[in-house]
Amino acid sequence: MEIWINPRCSKCRVAIGELDAAGAEYTVRRYLEEPPSAAELEAVLERLHLEPWDITRTDEQAAKELGMKDREAWPRDASARARWISALAEHPVLIQRPIITADDGTTVVGRTEEELAKVLPKS
């Protein structure tokens, strides 16, 4: 299992605490220091069954500078998908966190107890 975190994020710290409490084995990836490539983002999005705009933190300063809330400039459709992925790869601070990829293929944005429960080892 791998978890993409920002150590300053409270949701990431909660997720790590839950993984530790469950005895899960995992690898931490500090994605701001080791940003995912566009190909890695594509793979994670496929596993999440989400689109790049679904995992974009549009209130971040970088998103504001890029104008990502403007739906005309940044449409949320197939024609703009590659642009969104490229922006996430170039500005990893825009990626929602934590993202947890389990060995069985289950992948979640672990911001809620319900999502975290999907990747925790079953006792």
Q: Residue 30: beta bridge partners?
A: 5
- The C-alpha atoms of residue 79 and residue 84 are separated, in whole angstroms, by 10
For residue 12, indicate whether it is catalytic: no
Helix, strand and coil in the chain, % to nearest 5: 45, 15, 45
Q: Residue 4: beta bridge partners?
A: 29, 99
Residues 2, 6, 8, 9: which is the catalytic one? 9
Q: List the catalytic residues.
A: 9
